[in-house]
Amino acid sequence: MPKRALLFINGDLPNRDAARKIIQDDDFIIAVDGGTRHALNLGLVPSVIIGDLDSVDLTGLDETKIIQYPADKDETDLELALEYAINAGYEQIRLIGALGGRLDQTLGNLSLLTDESYAGVDLRIDDGVEEAFFICDQAQIHVRIGDLVSLIPWGNPVTGICTEGLRWQLSNESLYPHKTRGISNEAIAALIHIQIEDGLLLIVHKRLRV
């Protein structure tokens, strides 16, 4: 089984060339309704298309597995696609095209990543330009020197933060959701280490050279 699943969502994809760089040959491709267009524009034929199919043209996709849901449902198409990928056993999942467009959809997509049932999954939003993910203990991030890395406490204060490889280091410090101290830090090393004691921290990595 391929190691990773890529879920293409119907948001913005700002740079196709940057998106191509994060695709691996053995990735399993899942299109989330209208996100099919992004996969096809990158020359990828989805193995599965999931959603209510109100935003997708299925012409020429006879070999693709189609899973259709009713338009009136409690979950978004992305939530259903995530459940499919996790139930299929994928422990690395990337969401492509999950940012931009409607603000409510973007916030909903980010909030999905905080579901505790996904705790054992390496789950990230990544379009080749920006990647975003949550940590509740520690993480390492491969970057280029000069990239921007923002640390954003989600919902509540995050305490005991220690960082290595950022211009403005944190050493057993706290960040608060009503303050912007963690925004736009700068990578001074190719590998960033971040560790926290308590809370949920959103990491946003902005690649300045793609």
Domain boundaries, the chain: 4-128, 138-206
pLDDT at 185: 97
At residue 148, the 3 state secondary structure works out as strand
CB 210 within 8 A of CB 18: yes
Rounded Cα–Cα distance for residues 17 and 7 (Å): 17
pLDDT at 70: 85
The residue among 57 and 83 whose pLDDT is bigger is 83
Mean pLDDT taken over the chain: 92
Tens of pLDDT, residue by residue over 18-29, are 999 999 999 999
- Is the CATH code 3.40.50.10240 the one for domain 4-128? yes
Rounded Cα–Cα distance for residues 49 and 198 (Å): 38
- Strand segments, DSSP code E, in 143-183 are 148-153, 158-164, 171-175
pLDDT at 18: 94
Tens of pLDDT, residue by residue over 140-186, are 999 999 999 999 999 999 999 999 999 999 999 999 999 999 999 99
Token pair 């978004």 is found at 76
Six-digit token string for 22: 């994060």
pLDDT at 209: 81
Six-digit token string for 38: 């992004």
Six-digit token string for 90: 């994928």
pLDDT at 171: 96
- Asked if pLDDT for residue 109 goes beyond 80, the answer is yes
CB 129 within 8 A of CB 206: yes
- Asked if pLDDT for residue 1 goes beyond 60, the answer is no
> Could you tell me which of 190, 194, 161, 189 has the C-alpha nearest to residue 175?
161
Fold match, 4-128 / 138-206 = no
Binned at pLDDT 50, 70 and 90, residue 131 comes out as: very high
pLDDT at 2: 60
pLDDT at 102: 80
Tens of pLDDT, residue by residue over 17-67, are 999 999 999 999 999 999 999 999 999 999 999 998 888 888 888 889 999
pLDDT at 101: 74
- Asked if pLDDT for residue 192 goes beyond 90, the answer is yes
Rounded Cα–Cα distance for residues 85 and 93 (Å): 8
Query: What architecture is domain 138-206?
Result: Sandwich (2.60)
CB 19 within 8 A of CB 27: no
> Could you tell me which of 105, 110, 100 has the C-alpha nearest to residue 134?
110
